[in-house]
Amino acid sequence: MIVTERLKIYPADKEQMQRFIESENDEELRSAYSEMLAGCLEFPDKWEWYAMWLIELHDGTHIGDLCFKGIGDDGVPEIGYGIRDAFQGCGYASEAVKGMVGWAFRIRL
């Protein structure tokens, strides 16, 4: 788990990812979430790389998610993220990405 000043960020487990897939109305997102889960199950030792990461406030309120999207053309890992509308404009995405990047460098991902 990554803990920042205002956030807790952690990889979703199998059941959480399945719930996201089942509840998603957007076919493109449902497909992306399904690919993430498939990667997690195929490569469980690299779960953190394939999983969706949940972003929560310290009180447990789920405000968004992020994930590694793969390696970009420049050889640098890309991060995708989304913050629920009610929580946008507060710097949460920046804080989450900063925490995730720091974590990735610490573990040499």
**22-40: pLDDT as tens digits:** 999 999 989 989 999 999 9
Q: How confident is the model at residue 109 (pLDDT cuts 50, 70, 90)?
A: low
C-alpha separations of 57 from 36, 60, 86, 103 in Å:
23, 5, 13, 18
Q: What structural domains does the chain harbor?
A: 2-107 (3.40.630.30)
What tens digit of pLDDT does each residue of 44-90 get?
998 988 899 999 999 999 999 999 877 767 777 789 999 999 999 99
Q: In what order do the strands lie in the sheet with 77-83?
A: 2-3, 7-11, 53-57, 62-71, 77-83
pLDDT of residue 44: 93
List CB contacts of 25: < 8 A, sequence separation 6 or more. none
Of 66, 70, 63, the closest CA to residue 87 belongs to 63
Indicate if the alpha-carbon torsion angle 1, 100, 4, 57 is positive or negative. negative
Q: How many Å is the Cα radius of gyration of the chain?
A: 13
Of 15, 14, 22, the closest CA to residue 50 belongs to 14
Structure tokens given for 83: 């913050």
